[in-house]
Homo-oligomer: A and B are copies of this chain.
């Protein structure tokens, strides 16, 4: 054994000062003389003193030094590289500030909200990062009224922010995708979406509808396929139905890459070749989208950047004197990644 853990008293005894002096010197209190401070810092290094977080956190106020990330649904992250990227970005973002990331997984028996309540109630974390928001998100509502520092991934309202968030501008992206496909001659569009009322669904859908409306071309049609977010079987069925109709779309926008890749699979299954018979555009640029054949045209949502921004914002909130701190927001404009899954519209051959 490398010996018991050193305490502040060990340092104090070594220097012949009181524990209070050591504490103040290490905390940077202005009432300590520079020489004493230097001696204390040196001694602390010498004996290998590390403050006991439990004791620090016990004496009123001081936080736990942890921020929490809630792992939402079971499908999250299993399908793609998204979660891994996000976590890695968060981890390095917080590590720079000496903050530890703690991770709460939701089991089947408890709701995410109850887990959040528990974390807030037990002070297990000083701040929280919450994933993909939904409309009228109860987590946001709770955290805002509780005055607990947090950053959400996804805004909840387009108006004045009630809290800090990071989001991607899905509306602009989907409008851009529509314009591109329209310019390539496509008129019959498909949208593959999910059942759950996530805010990103709202924005991307609205962006698409707004772009269609702005174009004002009555020849443009839109068919929609909907399935639960992580129900693979129903997803396949819904997409197959979309692609098998008599007036099937020639261009399909998917809410995220996981859906777009299923469109690719289903198209191959139905004998449709992409992009000749069908153009497909996704969203997120997960690692699989590059490897799929044909490569998926999609939008890069810059996961790592948004993760780092989330970390920075939460750190800012924790450091703020006023509580709640003034909300910060970041809306990232995704960049279109052109690959092989889209192309000019071709009139279907006579059946």
**Hey, which bits of chain A sit against chain B, CB under 8 A?**
1-2, 5, 48, 50, 52-55, 57-58, 64, 66, 69, 71, 74, 76-85, 87-88, 90-92, 94-96, 100-107, 118, 121-124, 146-147, 261, 264-265, 268, 287-288, 291-293, 304
In the complex, A240→B296 CA distance in Å?
A: 23
Q: Which of A1, A52, A118, A293 has the most chain B CB atoms closer than 10 A to its own CB?
A: A293
Contact across chains for B122 and A78 when beta carbons are under 8 A apart: no
Specify which chain B residues have a CB less than 8 angstroms from the CB of A1 in the assembled complex. Answer: 147
Write 5 A-B pairs (CB below 8 A) sorted by A numbering. A2-B146, A58-B58, A69-B103, A100-B103, A102-B103
Give A115's nearest chain B residue, CB to CB. Answer: B95
Partner of A71 from the list B2, B64, B88 (CB cut-off 8 Å) is B88
Given A64-B54, A84-B84, A105-B101, residue A287 in contact with residue B78 (CB < 8 A): yes
Given A54-B54, A121-B50, A291-B265, residue A88 in contact with residue B105 (CB < 8 A): yes
Partner of A77 from the list B2, B64, B88, B121 (CB cut-off 8 Å) is B88
Specify which chain B residues have a CB less than 8 angstroms from the CB of A288 in the assembled complex. Answer: 287-288, 291-292
The smallest C-beta distance from A350 to any residue of chain B, in angstroms, reads 29
